[in-house]
Amino acid sequence: MTYIFYDTETTGLKNEFDQILQLGAIKTDEELNEIDRIVLRCRLLPHVVPSPRALQVSRTTHSMLIDPGLPSYREFMSAIHARFSDWSPSVFIGFNTVSFDENFLRQGFFQTLHPVYLTNTDGNTRADILKIARAMHLYFPGVITVPRNEDGKENFRLEKLASANGISHKAHDAMGDAEATLALARKMKNEEPEGWNTLLNWRQKRNVSDFLYEREMVSLSDFFARSYSWVVTYCGINPEIDSQIGVFDLAHEPEDYMNLSVNELIDVLNDSPKIIRIVRANAFPVLMPLEMTPGSLLGEKYPADLCSERARTIRGNFDFQERVGEAIQLRYEERSPSPYPEKQIYEGFPRREDERLMQEFHSVGPGERKILVDQIQDSRLKEFALRLVYIESPEFLSQTERTTLEQWHSERLFSDDPNAPWLTVRKALSEIDALIDENQGEERERLEDLRGFIRNIRV
């Protein structure tokens, strides 16, 4: 088993409408010894307005955004896909990657006509060092040092964890963050190998589902403003999406819920506090056997004999489990497809012929790419392909196509719609004016330079 520790720097927080600017990745062996590494950077897409706050954090200058020596976004994502494919199969892992970087990576592949699910198909799996660090702190106190803010709350930001644990860290640089993440992983693996191996089990969906099916009771933890832990038992599964598994909180009496209808169980799923929780088996949940769970973590609300009795009641009632599964399936009302193809990423897989055309798109010249665009059947992919031709070689488009795409480009930059889900020039200028007021000296000069760049953005 090999690992790929990676991190990205982006233009903002919205994976559908922002983009990756830099990626750093380190491939290691099973003992976390480095084998290879890459650092890649690309130019700004012409229709993306970067968040001044995001650029300030990553210390990205406007000259770095438009450097003609850097690859286009399509070339950049192609290079990432090629290297990650060459390094596969591996465990793709980083700091908060499951919630953040993974979504940007998928969108980048989607919008540049590459297979979306590289990190969790064909033997690849994914994990998250932020979740592992939080779990280590809960279940194996002392393995890592967790600093606190001035208000006394624990701080799990990577730069703070690195500093508290004696790890050198160049913060908010893709390779610097990847290196710090790897160092933190080595510390946890070396000091608590059993805990490390247990948590790494959950990188595979099948391991999660088997664990929940086979164990009468397990410990489940999640993290919001603070950490929470529960003793739970399996109570049902979405019959259409097998990664959505229901678990019952054994602090509660199951007899109060066993005879509820499907609609009533939907209300239970939506209520707070949660009696029935949904574990996403493909999202690296934090689970632990009870024998590895400190008693102090769960407190007195989970007496062992009573919890065991409640678990047996639930696991012996298959009709209840079936209704819970149906409630999970029906929990969310059907929504109309988004008008934006970026938001349609999970609305179906490409046909096999379109997959072939996607692959060919990257191996032919710009004129031939336009010919392939006309053959693509998937409306989402056809739109992305047209945009790529427009960005890199608009001379191969018809006048009608160019006019349509120029209008789309202008809307992305200058829309007056306050509800537009992307950052416009007007919004970015408002954001940067506020930042300039907050800063002085060299940082203020850099922000003023960036403001000039954003003001000069044109179609």
> Taking each helix axis from N to C terminus, what angle separates 318-330 and 304-315, rounded to the nearest 10 degrees?
80
Q: Distance between CA 97 and CA 75 in Å, rounded?
A: 22
Q: Is 168 inside a domain boundary?
A: yes
Q: Distance between CA 322 and CA 276 in Å, rounded?
A: 14
Do 294 and 263 belong together in one domain? yes
Do 300 and 394 belong together in one domain? no
Q: Is 219 inside a domain boundary?
A: yes
* Tokens describing residue 357: 């055309």
* Tokens describing residue 429: 């200028």
The 10s digit of each residue's pLDDT in 393-452 is 999 999 999 999 999 999 999 999 999 999 999 999 999 999 998 988 888 988 999 999
The 10s digit of each residue's pLDDT in 308-327 is 999 999 999 999 999 999 99
Do 198 and 287 belong together in one domain? no
Q: Distance between CA 62 and CA 295 in Å, rounded?
A: 53
Residue 458 buriedness (CB in 10 A; 0-12 / 13-18 / 19+) = exposed
Do 275 and 224 belong together in one domain? yes
Q: What is the pLDDT of residue 341?
A: 97
pLDDT above 90: percentage of residues in the chain: 91
Q: Is 254 inside a domain boundary?
A: yes
Q: Distance between CA 349 and CA 116 in Å, rounded?
A: 9
Would you list the DSSP string of 110-126?
Answer: HHTTS-TTGGGSTT-EE
pLDDT above 70: percentage of residues in the chain: 100
Residue 42 and residue 104 in contact, taking contact as beta carbons nearer than 8 Å: no
Lowest mean pLDDT among 54-58, 128-132, 180-184, 224-228: 224-228
Question: Contacts for 397-404 with beta carbons within 8 Å, 24 or more apart?
Answer: 397/370
CATH number at residue 299: 3.30.1520.20
Among candidate residues 203, 236, 270, the one where a domain is terminated: 203
Where in the sequence is the domain holding 372, given as residue range(s)?
Answer: 341-414
Q: What is the mean pLDDT of the chain?
A: 95
The 10s digit of each residue's pLDDT in 1-56 is 999 999 999 999 999 999 999 999 999 999 999 999 999 999 999 999 999 999 99
Q: Is 335 inside a domain boundary?
A: no
Residue bearing the bigger pLDDT, 441 or 352 = 352
Q: Is 336 inside a domain boundary?
A: no
In the structure, what pLDDT confidence band is assigned to residue 377 with cuts at 50, 70 and 90? very high
The 10s digit of each residue's pLDDT in 161-220 is 999 999 998 888 999 999 999 999 999 999 999 999 999 999 999 999 999 999 999 999
Do 306 and 213 belong together in one domain? yes
| Helix, strand counts (H, E) of the chain | 19, 10
In the structure, what pLDDT confidence band is assigned to residue 335 with cuts at 50, 70 and 90? confident
Do 28 and 115 belong together in one domain? yes
Q: Is 56 inside a domain boundary?
A: yes
Q: What is the pLDDT of residue 362?
A: 96
- Report how far apart, in Å, the C-alpha atoms of 129 and of each of 287, 383, 456 are: 14, 36, 40
Residue 139 and residue 294 in contact, taking contact as beta carbons nearer than 8 Å: yes
Do 308 and 325 belong together in one domain? yes
Among candidate residues 295, 330, 365, the one where a domain is terminated: 330
Segment (H or E) for 28: strand 20-28
SS3 17: coil
pTM of the predicted protein model:
0.95
